[in-house]
Structure 1
Amino acid sequence: MRFHTLFLLLILCCVYLAAGQVSYDDCCLKYVRKLSRSTQRHVVDYKIQKADGSCNIAALIFIMRKGRMICANPSESWASRLKERLDAKKPEQDSSFSSKPRPLQRKG
């Protein structure tokens, strides 16, 4: 009987420890201070990280050509200029384009 109780207690401890582990998103933990202009040319996109429950700091995550991610402080002037430059490169949506499909017209 003692063996079964000890075994059950051991299993419950393992389950408790496994459930207690928190899975974190890919969060920035620190910023780079500066990016050289030649490195900035390799940036293709960015994501915005908000300081919420899963991530501790707000950051701009710049995505490089080969998929590498670099974290920057969003209040830094070079980071905001790079973000604006990337936004300007994105194609603007044509205002004449409608997201709703037009109904088919029947002939006859």
Structure 2
Amino acid sequence: MRFYTLLFLVILTCLYLTVAQGSYEDCCLKYAKKPSHHVRRMVISYRKQELDGGCNIPATVFSIKRRGRQGRVFCADPKQLWVRELMKKLNKKSIG
């Protein structure tokens, strides 16, 4: 009986570790190059990715509008001038 209990616990532990490894955070792994003017006009929102948890680079994640709904996202380096300008533009839109 002890053997089966021990075997059950080992199997349960292996399953737990397998599931834990498969759950990744929604993180940017690299930056996109400067997008075209057309793409930047379609950006509807952004969020900031900080250096915590599984995310290993700071980034600004922009969401692009696609046919009446939120569509793709792209990651940008928050230190870039065009990124800061686009963030300011989006902030002004949300206020006014």
Above 0.5 in TM-score?
A: yes
Structure 1 CA distance for aligned equivalents of residues 28 and 6 of structure 2 = 38
Q: Secondary structure, in 3 states, of the residue corresponding to 1:80?
A: helix
Who is 1:35 aligned against?
35
Give the C-alpha shift of residue 9 in structure 1. Answer: 4.1
4+ long deviations beyond 4 Å = none
CA distance in 2, matches of 1:73, 1:44: 18
The RMSD of aligned alpha carbons is 1.9
Q: Which has the higher contact order (CA 8 A, sep 6+)?
A: 2
Q: Give 5+ residue unaligned stretches, structure 1.
A: 93-108
TM-score by length of 1: 0.71
The 2-side partners of 1:62 and 1:38 are apart by 14
- Tell me which protein shows more helix as a share of its residues: 2
Aligned to 2:73: 69
Q: Return the alpha-carbon distance in structure 1 between the equivalents of residues 76 and 25 of structure 2.
A: 17
Structure 1 residue 19 displacement after superposition? 2.5
For residues 82 and 8 of structure 1, the distance between their equivalents in structure 2, rounded to whole angstroms, comes to 58
Of the two, which has the highest radius of gyration?
1
SS at match of 2:32: coil
Please list, as runs of the form range in 1=range in 2, the aligned pairs for 1:1-108 lying within 5 A after superposition. 5=3, 7-20=4-17, 21-22=20-21, 23-66=23-66, 67-92=71-96
- Residue-by-residue CA offset, 1:13-66 (whole Å, 9 max, x unaligned): 332123332432211111102111111111000011111123111110000003
